[in-house]
């Protein structure tokens, strides 16, 4: 629907070009215009934001997974180096080169050890035998074969040595002081040796391993001119065969 409010051009003055002067034309026609669609910018912005958030979430997840995996691999690698899965295998692996470097033939070692053991034992026994040689275990009264003084420590060592060495022999030498005749002193010295032999037999030493000999007034250890000296000479001494005494003790 249109309204024409134009002034009458016929009544309007004209200018030199023939146009109506001061004419004005108003067109108030109500025209149908195409509907302008609503802008889509807000919807696009919302979609873009959601997409960006999604990308950030996905990217963050990938970053976290990568970092976590790398950390786990590092820890596992470090743990594997620090603590072997099989400690026994690790020890074997570590010591094997050392064993190979200084390899020892156990059969040779065992043979050497078995050969060396008797030698060591013989040396030890020789020391013991030498330490007992010429020791005085008992002393006697004048004209008697009864003990007046007993050295229990020496006797204990004698019995131990003979018990540890079943093949060993022992000599018991009986002595007398110079009083009386030589025959009497010889008899008394033999009786003293026999008395100590009997004592050892009573302590489970075989009689066949003991050689008792009377020496009379031989080899005095003190002067027979004094009572104290004669008292010391009434004795028995221990003597061991030379093959049992290899060297003197330390």
* Digit-coded pLDDT (tens) for 36-67: 455 555 666 677 788 788 788 887 778 777 77
pLDDT over 80 at 77, yes or no: no
- Please give the mean pLDDT across all residues of the chain: 75
pLDDT digits (tens, 9 = 90+) for 200-245: 999 999 999 999 999 999 999 999 999 999 999 999 999 998 888 7
- pLDDT for 71 equals 60
Q: Which range, 48-52, 80-84, 112-116, 134-138, is most confident?
A: 134-138
Q: What sign for the dihedral angle of Cα 65, 68, 71, 77?
A: negative
**Smallest Cα–Cα separation from 158: which of 236, 92, 228, 71?**
236
Q: Per-residue DSSP letters for 204-245?
A: T--GGGEEEEE-TT-S-SS-TTSHHHHHHHSEEEEE--GGG-
Contacts of 126 (CB under 8 A, 6+ apart): 244, 245, 246, 247
| pTM check: above 0.85 | no
Residue 234 CB-density burial (10 A; 0-12 exposed, 13-18 middle, 19+ buried): buried
Query: Cα dist. 51→43, 48, 55 in Å?
Result: 12, 5, 6
Contact 233, 185 (CB under 8 A): no
User: For 17, which DSSP code?
Assistant: T
CATH number of 137-244: 3.30.1330.60
Token readout for 60 is 């963050």
């Amino acid at each position: 629907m249109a309204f024409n409010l134009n002034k009458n051009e016929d009544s309007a003055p004209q200018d030199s070009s023939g146009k109506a002067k001061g004419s004005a034309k108003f067109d108030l026609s109500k025209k149908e215009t195409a509907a302008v669609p609503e802008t889509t910018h807000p919807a696009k912005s919302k979609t873009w934001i959601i997409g960006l958030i999604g990308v950030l979430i996905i990217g963050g997840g990938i970053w976290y997974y990568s970092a976590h995996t790398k950390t786990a691999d590092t820890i596992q690698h470090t743990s594997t180096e620090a603590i072997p899965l099989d400690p026994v295998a690790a020890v074997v692996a570590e010591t094997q080169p050392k064993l190979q470097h200084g390899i020892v033939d156990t059969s040779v070692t065992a043979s050497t050890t078995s050969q060396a053991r008797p030698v060591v034992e013989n040396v030890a026994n020789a020391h013991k035998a030498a330490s007992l040689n010429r020791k005085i275990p008992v002393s006697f009264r004048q004209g008697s074969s009864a003990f007046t003084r007993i050295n229990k420590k020496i006797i204990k060592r004698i019995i131990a040595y003979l018990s540890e060495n079943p093949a060993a022999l022992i000599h018991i030498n009986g002595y007398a002081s110079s009083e009386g005749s030589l025959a009497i002193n010889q008899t008394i010295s033999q009786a003293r040796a026999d008395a100590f032999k009997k004592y050892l037999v009573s302590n489970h030493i075989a009689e066949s391993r003991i050689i008792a000999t009377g020496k009379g007034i031989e080899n005095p250890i003190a002067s027979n001119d004094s009572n104290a000296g004669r008292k010391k000479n009434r004795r028995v001494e221990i003597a061991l065969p030379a093959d049992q005494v290899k060297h003197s003790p330390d």
